[in-house]
Chain A
Amino acid sequence: MRSGYYKETIVEHINLTDSTLQRAWIGIGLLLVIAAPFHFEFYGLSLITLMMITAIGAMGLNVLTGWTGLISLGQTAFMVLGAYAYAISTESWGWPPLLGFVLAGIVPAIASVIVGVPSLRLTGLYLAITTLASAFIVNHLVLEFDGLTNGSSGIFVNRPVIFGYAFDTDAKFYYLTAGFGILTILACLNLRRSRIGRALIAIRDNDNAARVMGIDLRAYKLYAFVASSFIVGISGALYGIFLSFVTVDGFPFLLAIEALAILIVGGMGSIAGAILGAVFLVGLPEVTSFVFSWMGSSAQSLLSTSAHEIKGLLYGLIIILFLRLQPHGLMGLWQDARRTWTLWPLKY
């Protein structure tokens, strides 16, 4: 009986995949992503688009929280900055959307250096508080500079036209989002297996040991901040286009909690976990409304009057239950299942 997979060289170790089966599954997954608009109508398609945007944001947060172990409660700040950078540059200044997307990554990245530098000395609890504070400050600044941001009335955002091709229908916007999603996955996978990615993991696992190995903690923590907020900023811009309207109210504080909940549900530090978690949490309200409609009309009217509260209640319960019962998330469950499958009938 096979006792496990063994990798003998560094190249084998950092290869993204070495199994034909996995390649086949990736191919099937890509086909499904391409085929989705032919099967799903408006609502289903917009739900999948939202899942993808959320997954991009969650992968961004994963770089900071999952890999480097820095807790951030201020991801909404970078989403807001990304969305506004895109909206202002394309709608107010008339820049091409591709440049808008670049700006949507760069502006939050610069802002993250400003937030990151004073936070570098802090860990754990204190970092959570500074990032929380900076989220509120960014929201305030956006409202204050109303000449640029239109204040609380917000900015309308059109679907982008890139190289003369208009992403004007839901299906086309879905493909654009899918493209960004695949790019993000590739970027994250490659970052993870590079020198930087290994350094980030080392910092999370034991920062003193990492420092002894010659990892410059300040530089690498800043890398993590910048990379994370670049990706989160892009997801913010996509979310702005998705809503076709950018305001501060479109990015409530609940979004930052949702992002952390996604990582917890999916499994900290795993890219597949971030995607699974996003699918799970975005799909959750739909499942709930299905269950409520099945429970009868009084439950349905409760759902329609207080949807936001029920969503909050569910997020809270999911966070607590997962942390309590399945701290490694869905990916942990999957790994347990796989181990049981290979080793059965032995325990280990």
Chain B
Amino acid sequence: MNYLAELLASGLAVGAVYGLIAMSFAIIYKSTGLLNFAQGEMGMIIAYVAWSISTSVDGNPFIVALGSIGFAVLFALAVERIVIRPMMSEPILSQIMVTIGLSVIFRSAIILIWDGLPHNMAIASGNQLVDLGGVRVRAAQIAVLVALFAAIAGMWAFFRYSRFGVAMRAVASDDATAQLMGVSSGKVQMAAWAAAAVLSGVAGVLFAIAYELSPSLYALGLKAFPATILGGLDAVIGSAVGGLIIGVTENLVGGYISSGLKEVAGFVIIILILMVRPYGLFGEKRIERL
């Protein structure tokens, strides 16, 4: 029983990380129709920047949070403006390949700028153990769950009530009409990239605190694909739920079946989902198909 509870707890924590990154995928896909293969790498770069800030200010959590969020926004806006914006009218293969090219560059740049070794990231009391009725978890693992729920609530309110959120939904449902109504799709795209970078940055930093900071952090992006496919590529909140489901499934498979299968469980789920229900659990039924 305790074993199961531990698996569930760590599954929910890692699932929340996947969920945050999956939300970033979905936000960008929803507002621009582009899947950013470099999202995990962006989260990783933000985590490294946060680590650099934290070592120079002795881990003051407020400065680290402000600095890394500021960096995330600027970084995403720069990437969007310089690399992505000129490619938006190109065919889908070019768009995919540009983001893949970015991901390869980021992955190499991390090792060239920082190094290839794992680091311990200590901010506030993030890696202290907390006892929850017999199950011991790290504070950062709780924090990432809290962050996920905050992000879900924030996104829901944003899309529902804010003027900008409504504009984003309008661009998502019909680009041309939204532009005729006076919505600037360029601004919507900038906002989507910034929001996605902040979410995946939060995921990267909290993952680094709970486990470790290493150049293999980008794999979180790959692991978040199943989550966003399961939830629906255009369903922001659905993707978050998908993340939790994938995280728990992975841990249960790893705990009860085999640890090798744990690594690919998500990818098996992708193929099953795409065969049965390609638009995901919560997505809209308008996928390209023949």
B-binding residues in A (CB < 8 A)? 65, 69, 71, 73, 118-126, 128-130, 132-134, 136-137, 140, 143-144, 207, 211, 217, 254, 257, 260-261, 264, 268, 306, 308-313, 315-320, 323-324, 327
Q: Within B234-284, which residues are at the interface with A (CB < 8 Å)? A: 258, 260-261, 263-264, 267-268, 270-271, 274-275, 278
Nearest CB in chain A to that of B111: its residue: A309
Bound-complex Cα distance A27 to B93 (A):
36
Q: Is B98 engaged at the interface, CB distance under 8 Å to the other chain?
A: yes
Bound-complex Cα distance A175 to B264 (A):
40
**Number of residues in B with C-beta < 8 Å to the partner?**
43
Q: Is B286 engaged at the interface, CB distance under 8 Å to the other chain?
A: no
Interchain CB contact under 8 A, B267 and A136: yes
Interchain CB contact under 8 A, A312 and B270: no
Nearest CB in chain B to that of A256: its residue: B100
Interchain CB contact under 8 A, B290 and A129: no
Partner of A306, one of B104, B111, B258, B270: B111
Q: Is B229 engaged at the interface, CB distance under 8 Å to the other chain?
A: yes
Partner of B93, one of A71, A254, A308: A71
Interchain CB contact under 8 A, B92 and A124: yes
Q: Is B74 engaged at the interface, CB distance under 8 Å to the other chain?
A: no
Interchain CB contact under 8 A, A144 and B260: yes
In the complex, which residues of chain B have a beta carbon less than 8 angstroms from the beta carbon of A136?
222, 263-264, 267
20 more A-B residue pairs beyond the given contacts A121-B289, A309-B109, with a C-beta to C-beta distance below 8 A: A65-B93, A73-B100, A119-B274, A121-B290, A122-B287, A124-B92, A124-B288, A126-B288, A129-B270, A129-B274, A134-B271, A136-B263, A136-B267, A260-B97, A261-B101, A309-B111, A312-B107, A313-B105, A320-B83, A323-B101
Bound-complex Cα distance A327 to B95 (A):
12
Residue among A71, A260, A308, A313 facing the most chain B CB atoms (10 A cut-off): A313
Bound-complex Cα distance A130 to B274 (A):
8
Interchain CB contact under 8 A, A323 and B260: no
Interchain CB contact under 8 A, A133 and B267: yes
Residue among B101, B258, B260, B268 facing the most chain A CB atoms (10 A cut-off): B101
Interchain CB contact under 8 A, A133 and B270: yes
Partner of A126, one of B83, B90, B287: B287
Interchain CB contact under 8 A, B261 and A316: no
Shortest Cβ gap from B222 to chain A (Å): 8
Q: Is B108 engaged at the interface, CB distance under 8 Å to the other chain?
A: yes
In the complex, which residues of chain B have a beta carbon less than 8 angstroms from the beta carbon of A122?
274, 278, 287-289
Nearest CB in chain B to that of A115: its residue: B271
Q: Is B143 engaged at the interface, CB distance under 8 Å to the other chain?
A: no
Q: Is B102 engaged at the interface, CB distance under 8 Å to the other chain?
A: yes
In the complex, which residues of chain A have a beta carbon less than 8 angstroms from the beta carbon of B97?
260-261, 264, 319, 323
Q: Is B94 engaged at the interface, CB distance under 8 Å to the other chain?
A: yes
Bound-complex Cα distance A211 to B35 (A):
28
Partner of A71, one of B83, B96, B270, B287: B96
Residue among B87, B226, B258, B267 facing the most chain A CB atoms (10 A cut-off): B267
Interchain CB contact under 8 A, A118 and B35: no
Partner of A121, one of B229, B260, B268, B278: B278
Q: List 17 A-B contacts (CB under 8 A).
A: A118-B275, A121-B278, A121-B290, A123-B290, A124-B96, A125-B96, A126-B274, A126-B288, A130-B270, A309-B108, A309-B111, A317-B105, A319-B101, A320-B98, A323-B97, A323-B101, A327-B90
